[in-house]
Amino acid sequence: MKIAHISDLHVSGYNFVKEWGENLIELLHEAKPDVLVVTGDITDDGYIYEYEIAKQYLDRIKVKTKIIVPGNHDARNEGYRIFEEFFGTRYPFYEDEHVVFLGVDSTEPDIDDGHIGRENYPLIKEKLSNHKQKILLLHHHLIPIPSTGRERNIPVDAGDVLRLCIEAGVNYVLSGHKHFPWIWRLENTYFITAGTATSHRLKGFSYPSFNLLHLTDTRQGFIKIVDVKEKKVKVTRKL
């Protein structure tokens, strides 16, 4: 299975780069992923007109299966309610014969902090309890990311969620928020953060990017980090 992981598009804001947006669509169509994962911040402030722009943009990406969770920018101004009108549940679930995906909303309205919540722990345990490859999606990172400045907004219950991921045998946790691609491995779980794919809001000398995950039936695979500006692979790593 090939999974494209994009995040922090901010398509309705002044930091959105139209050229990078067009490059991203072209690169995704060339890659032909089986699943497109979007880990939040598709808008800037969660207004309905921004969701209309974001929906039009994402509809142009011709991938059959799209799994989308909101980010902290999307939850502003009651945007978390508008999200459901445009993209459905904030807790999407998808599975095939080999892989199961569960998305959770880690946002809180009108603040940038992350929070999963005890009420959602049973959902994570239930949906990710089988023997398939298990992928959890959320906007906020659970482990601090280097090169992104002073740590802020990590979910207040990150420790409990980390333990839950390890105990459930989650294979991959995909997130965004920090606008910088990074991979951590904790025990047997990979925590993969995507950079911003289409926004000027880059960290230091980083580049706009997205992740391509290639998974095999043997639960091994590799990840590519693709530079959207230069339209080429910058990093390839075994998983």
CATH number at 132 reads 3.60.21.10
User: For 14-25, what is the mean pLDDT?
Assistant: 97
Q: Model-level pTM?
A: 0.97
3-state helix, strand, coil in the chain (%, to 5): 25, 30, 45
- pLDDT for res 116: 97
For 46-66, the pLDDT digits (tens) are 999 999 999 999 999 999 999
Residue 98 · residue 117 · CB < 8 Å: no
For 127-159, the pLDDT digits (tens) are 998 888 999 999 999 999 999 988 888 999 999
Q: Which domain holds residue 122?
A: 2-238
Q: Among candidates 65, 115, 120, 61, which has minimal Cα distance to 88?
A: 65
Residue 217: Cβ-neighbour burial (10 angstroms; 0-12, 13-18, 19+): exposed
Q: Is pLDDT above 90 for 218?
A: no
Q: Among candidates 19, 20, 73, 79, which has minimal Cα distance to 210?
A: 20
Q: Among candidates 57, 159, 144, 152, which has minimal Cα distance to 111?
A: 152
- pLDDT for res 58: 98
Mean residue pLDDT of the chain comes to 96
- pLDDT for res 237: 96
User: For 54-83, what is the mean pLDDT?
Assistant: 98
Total of domains in the chain: 1
Residue 185: other Cβ atoms inside 10 A: 10
Q: How far apart are CA 64 and CA 78, in angstroms?
A: 28
